[in-house]
Structure 1
Amino acid sequence: MAARLTFTNAPPAGTATAADLFAVLYREYALLARNRVNLVLSLTPMLVYLLLVNTSLNNLVGTIDYKGAELRFAVFLLPTVLAMSVVSAAGTSGMALFQEELSGVSTQLWSYPMRRSRFLLGKMLAGVSLVLGQSLLALGVAVLIFEFPFDPQGWLGLLAALTLASVAFNGLYLAAAITITDFQTFMVLTNVSLLVLVFSAPSLYTVADMPVVLQWVSVVNPLTYAINGMRDAAIFGFAGAWPNLLVLAVVAAVTYGVAGRALLNRARNM
């Protein structure tokens, strides 16, 4: 009778799970940090709007009425710049999936005895931290250039809305990257969606100043709720921003659910 093979030095399940998650996070950070092209592409639109569009339009437009509050245009446009940084960085995180597949790494990762939930959680945490980090960089540059009349509650609300927007859009692009199998299609989607999302949302203007057709489109545009959520949280506090933040939370829950199911289906087909 053959002897039964046992492993006496196997790590506990909890330790193995934590090690898997740490390994995924380490790899994601290394992959995102070393790809300088993607980082430059994700930062460029934000810096262009912040340094060129914002400064020029601030002198041209002057002040704008937003829900009864008179705001300098630089203050009004700040959430738009942050939202562009969020979308660009989220697209960069999605591209990392295709880079893994093209290099053959995905086959190795998804054939490893690791729970798919740990892989998805690592992707989510790494992607959100990248999106949030680049957005905070944009906010830091904006603070150095402009003066913002926000009180501590306004800054706290702005950061909370920015974090939730980062989670929601990272989930949206992650779900799209896992669902779409063609890299070129995703590249086109990423580049075109940035322009469509920005200019069909109340980014450079209020909803009332938008054409009627764009007003209808803005209702289903998730960037509308990210921009309005950051504006309302910074100016009026959480009481005025919670409807937009609630929509972003729903978007995050739905997109990560779609991403998780698509990841399982994609792993089975490897």
Structure 2
Amino acid sequence: MAELTFTHTPPVSTAKAADLSAVFYREYALLARNRVNLIFGLAPTLVYLLLVNTSLGNVVGDIDYRGTTLPFEMFLLPMVLAMSVVSASGTTGMALFQEEMSGVSTQLWSWPLRRSRFLLGKILAGVSLVLAQTLLALGVAVVLFRYPFPVSHWITMLAALVLASVAFNGLFLAAAILIRDYRTFSVLSTVSVLVLVFTAPSVSPVEQLPTVLRWISVVNPVTYAINGMRDALVSGFGAAWPSLLVLVAVAAVTNVVAGRALLRRTRNL
């Protein structure tokens, strides 16, 4: 009688690059195809850029910022960009809830996908979308208002913009993971945009803020995003690097917290 033998061949693992690119494409499509989230991310920015800037420009006039006199539209630009970053970052959190409510998260983790690649793809997709929306706002601003800043200052400002995008994308991603209720997160993310922006030196220098707001601005990460971009445009890297350093620290902390929380949450699916 012939002896039966069985062989087992393990499945071929997916290439790391292909695995990560697939996750990135999926996350980007999930974020970019939701027109409601895109509108909520862009609308506040365009309103402040087109209405607040033009309506208050003639009333406020020039502003003295660290020894430099700036027209109001130049002074307000970092605030508009920071608002765009904060508003767009909220969409990454909304995407998490959409995945779980539709059951996609459970289906996703039935596939042998490494959590580290999923996390990296989600972060990269979120940051790229935040940057895309903010750069669109910047392009509109440059077309409407001619800013006489040198190229080196623009490069430093863009570095501050990238760091702010990474920091706030991680912040809202961590909040969405730690807050389990969709409605609670939706309300908090909407309110937090206004609170974060207007407790920072957005429309006036920090010296002109009320005492309580001045204290709050010290621990408000939006303060360092606005000051970093404003100092970069006015004076260059030499004046902006302390704020950039704070943004690096905020980006590292928020994304580590978001990553650990996301990995812990996926184990319970």
Structure 2 stretches lacking a partner, 5+ long: none
Residue 10 of structure 1 pairs with residue 12 of structure 2: yes
| Matching residue's letter, 2:103 | G
| Matching residue's letter, 2:158 | L
* Correspondence for 2:32: 33
For 2:264 and 2:236, the matched residues in 1 are separated by 42
Structure 1 stretches lacking a partner, 5+ long: none
Quote how far apart the aligned CAs of 1:96 are: 0.5
For 1:161 and 1:123, the matched residues in 2 are separated by 21
* Correspondence for 1:88: 87
Q: Percent identity, please.
A: 70
For 1:257 and 1:35, the matched residues in 2 are separated by 27
For 1:50 and 1:230, the matched residues in 2 are separated by 16
Quote how far apart the aligned CAs of 1:30 are: 1.4
| Alignment of structure 1 residues 14-25 onto 2, 5 Å | 16-25=15-24
| Alignment of structure 1 residues 106-117 onto 2, 5 Å | 106-117=105-116
* Correspondence for 2:70: 71
The SS at the match of 1:70 is strand
- TM-score, normalising length from structure 2? 0.96
For 2:153 and 2:56, the matched residues in 1 are separated by 24
The SS at the match of 1:65 is strand
* Correspondence for 2:188: 189
Quote how far apart the aligned CAs of 1:110 are: 2.7
- TM-score, normalising length from structure 1? 0.96
* Correspondence for 1:262: 261
The SS at the match of 1:148 is coil
| Matching residue's letter, 2:133 | Q
* Correspondence for 1:250: 249
Once superposed, what is the RMSD of the aligned Cα atoms? 1.2
Q: Is the 8 A contact 2:32 2:129 kept in 1?
A: no
Quote how far apart the aligned CAs of 1:262 are: 0.5
Deviations 1:206-254 (A, max 9, x none): 1000000000000110000000000001111111111111111111111
For 1:34 and 1:232, the matched residues in 2 are separated by 35
The SS at the match of 1:147 is coil
Quote how far apart the aligned CAs of 1:2 are: 4.8
* Correspondence for 1:219: 218
For 1:112 and 1:36, the matched residues in 2 are separated by 28
How many residue pairs get aligned? The number is: 266
For 1:49 and 1:203, the matched residues in 2 are separated by 11
Would you identify which runs of 4 or more consecutive aligned residues in structure 1 move more than 6 Å? none
The SS at the match of 1:84 is helix
For 1:234 and 1:21, the matched residues in 2 are separated by 35
Quote how far apart the aligned CAs of 1:112 are: 2.2
